[in-house]
Structure 1
Amino acid sequence: MITTQGYMYWQNKAHFQLDHDTDSHWIMYIIESGRCEYQFDNFKGIAGANDILLIPPYCDFFRNMMTPMTFHFIRITSKLESNEQQLVGRHHFANQRFIENCTILRKTTFNLSSQAQVIRAHIVQDLFIQSNLEQLQSHHLNLKQAKNRTIAQATIIMQNHLDLTVSEIAHLVDLNPAYFSRNFKQVIGESPITYYTKLKLKKVQEYLITTDDSLSEIADKTGFNDAFYLSRTFRKYLKCSPIHYRKKHIV
């Protein structure tokens, strides 16, 4: 349960009275407007509108106001959970919920009642929840991007090597074959077998039109087991035999 103490709301404050200080509690700055430079622990940068800064206890907090700032200062007196402690640093909130939280906080200015303390605690808790949600979304996005990069790598391998199995391709991108197949279909929209077969057939079409190679020779070059399997697969996807296709496209 979050508890707070020492809340203050500053409007268009021109400068900090101290260029740095240290507090025995967790400190949260909730910035509505203006900009400041900050540095604490391994964090350094510029904070501005719709940002929060979460500073740990007994940490030298260096700051320099770049433009007049409107911000909330909240001292958190309760022990934070591990997932809340991980939110040390700067976090940006570009949403209506942040603005509404600031509006509610302003209504508790100079109010020392227990009810006001509860409201402030709930706002802080909600900011933690929002931060955790954004981190989860970012994590999922990174996973998706990583998955897309892996599948893109697999398609390049397929284009350059027509004689591999799907299992071999999966191992080349360090994935379990079953997991690889599921992810491939999610990203590409069709199974790796179908995608790979279509790639091979495009190459078959090229050989049929541009060379006099036999069907057995083409099958060997394009990763099909034999001419019979190639012919059967060709008919299935292109609705005609390789021989008919070659005759039809002779110029």
Structure 2
Amino acid sequence: MEKKKHSFKVFGNEKELLTYFPYRDDCNSQLDDYPIHIEAVGITKPDSNYRVLRNNWNIYTIEYIISGNGYLEYNGKNYKLSSGDMYILTPNSIQRYGAEKDNPYEKIWINFRSKNFIKILESLKLNKSPVFHFPDAYEYLKEIYTLKDTHHFVEDSSYICYKLLFNLLIDIKESENKKVNIFPQYLSDVLAYIDKKTPDPVSIEELTKIANVSQVCLINNFKKHIGETPYSYQLKTRLKLAKMYLTNSDKTLDEIAELCFFCDAFALSKAFKKVYGLSPREYRQSEI
């Protein structure tokens, strides 16, 4: 099988603080002996003409944008970069990245080799997009950068760097999960409206007007965040009100059914038993 040719070109000028991590002269260690082999770390402040073209390179690169703006073209997709963004470039990929002409970025970065890092990305499902907005990444990369002052050989820095990068990915994953689970404002508006109207039933058409989304979107997100449909939520709210009347009043089932907007006592009893496992009469007797 023909090996892919690799190339690496840098254009423009840059101010760079760069450190390479060598093996000890008296050591016969290999890449397989360590979870990560740091090639180099650096802080780069380029000019507006700065750009990098890299094809099929056999290293990982993680870069964090400290300030300014830039761009990334990665495996055929384009990304805009700004302060707080971090990106992970994997080996044997097509990479084009650089600084924005009007506001060139400053970045901190690490190049490293690893046999198992891709497995971590895949297990955390962080391999779908290379770019993450995660301002806390700066502290992790800054700590890795300072390893050059205290652990400047591969043998000393490998496990420390691996732990820092692993914790960084865990934090990114938790941050991504929180973004997915953000509670939409329109659901808060819908819940407030239902509570205000209770025990009056509210139609799904009325709720979609409040939310300003489609019925499918409203029902799906209601189930995702609340755990049930709008109809089920309203039904249980009316049944809770019925429980209050059963416990704290002498009203008949017909009266309670009317107050809670059930068509009759039979409909109330059927819904009540389905949800609570007891009929309204059985529930009232158990509370005496």
TM-score normalised by length of structure 2: 0.50
Distance 1:113 1:16, change over 3 A: same
Match of 1:107 in 2: 146
**Counterpart of 2:87 in 1: which secondary structure?**
strand
Closer, same or farther: CA 74–50 of 1 in aligned 2, 3 Å: farther
Match of 1:71 among 108, 115, 127: 108
**Would you say 1:83 and 2:123 are equivalent positions?**
yes
Equivalent residues of 1:181, 1:191 under 8 A apart: no
User: Matched residue of 2:163: which SS?
Assistant: helix
For residues 183 and 128 of structure 1, the distance between their equivalents in structure 2, rounded to whole angstroms, comes to 40
1:128 aligns with 2:169: yes
SS in 2 for 1:137: helix
Structure 1 position 60, deviation (Å): 0.6
Cα drift, residue 29 of structure 1: 1.6
Q: Percent identity?
A: 6
Aligned with 1:193 (options 220, 232, 238):
238
Residue 167 of structure 2 aligns with an amino acid whose one-letter code is D
Number of the residue aligned with 1:233? none
Q: Equivalents in 2 of 1:135, 1:128: separation in Å?
A: 10
Structure 2 match to 1:180: 228
Structure 1: distance between partners of 2:77 and 2:172: 17
- Please say if residues 33 and 71 of structure 1, whose CA atoms lie closer than 8 Å, have aligned partners that are also in contact: no
Q: 1:74 to 1:30 in 2, by over 3 A?
A: farther
Partner of 2:95: 61
Is the contact between residue 2 and residue 124 of structure 1 (CA under 8 Å) also seen in structure 2? no
1:37 positional shift: 0.8
Q: Unmatched 5+ residue regions in structure 2? A: 1-33, 205-218, 243-257, 269-288
Report what 1:248 is aligned to: none
Aligned residues: 184
Distance in structure 1 (CA, Å) of the matches to 2:203 and 2:170 = 47
Aligned to 2:201: 158
Q: Deviations over 1:40-96 (max 9, x none)?
A: 13542222333211122221111121104232132242222222463441112234x
2-structure distance, mates of 1:146, 1:195: 25
The 1:113/1:27 distance shift into structure 2, 3 A limit, reads closer
1:180 partner letter: E
Change (3 A) 1:107 1:146: same
Shift of 1:181: 8.2
More helix by share: 1
Contact 1:53/1:89, CA 8 A, preserved across alignment: yes
TM-score under structure 1 length normalisation = 0.56
After superposition, the C-alpha distances for 1:180-201 in whole angstroms (9 at most, x for unaligned) are 389976xx8x94225898xxxx
The answer (yes or no) to whether the contact 1:158–1:196 under 8 Å persists in 2 is no
Instruction: Give the alignment of 1:205-244 within 5 angstroms.
Output: 223-225=262-264
